[in-house]
């Protein structure tokens, strides 16, 4: 079964450090989504791409977060500088840009900012 791959699985770092999370979408999928899961907010959308072009990043704190797709096999989410409130599980999902197609999720990056 094709899967979305996320690295690293876990990341612990100190406040102020740069964090980079990576995602390899399923081959052939042309939409990529970044979600964040916290106890308070549940699963919330941060940003998404279609054919590598950013479509919506309104869910991201833009002063510190950035999302890119350098190529069709890699999506990145960066936080600089990181803050304790960024601690969460970050999920990447990919899908096909046609109606009624589900997104498929990776296993997430568990981020802890001390």
Residue 44 engages another protein in binding (rule: CB under 8 A)? yes
Closest CA to 113 of 88, 92, 84, 91: 84
CB of 54 to another protein, least distance (A): 11
Binding to another protein by residue 55, rule CB under 8 A? yes
For residues 74 and 81, which CB has a smaller minimum distance to another protein in the complex?
74
Sheet holding 19-24, edge to edge: 5-7, 19-24, 74-79, 65-71
CA distance 114 to 29: 35
The contact set with another protein (CB under 8 A) reads 4, 6, 31, 33, 35, 42-45, 48, 50, 55-56, 91, 93, 95, 97, 99-108, 110
């Amino acid at each position: 079964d094709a899967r979305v791959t996320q690295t690293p699985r876990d990341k612990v770092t100190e406040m102020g450090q740069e964090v980079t999370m990576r995602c390899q979408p399923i081959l052939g999928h042309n939409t990529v989504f970044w979600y964040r899961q916290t106890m308070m907010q549940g699963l919330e959308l941060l940003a998404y791409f279609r054919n590598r072009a950013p479509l919506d990043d309104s869910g991201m704190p833009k002063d510190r977060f950035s999302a890119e797709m350098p190529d069709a096999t890699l999506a990145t989410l960066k936080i600089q500088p990181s803050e304790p409130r960024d601690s969460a599980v970050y999920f990447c999902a990919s899908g096909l840009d046609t109606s009624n197609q589900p997104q498929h999720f990776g296993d997430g990056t568990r981020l802890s900012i001390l």
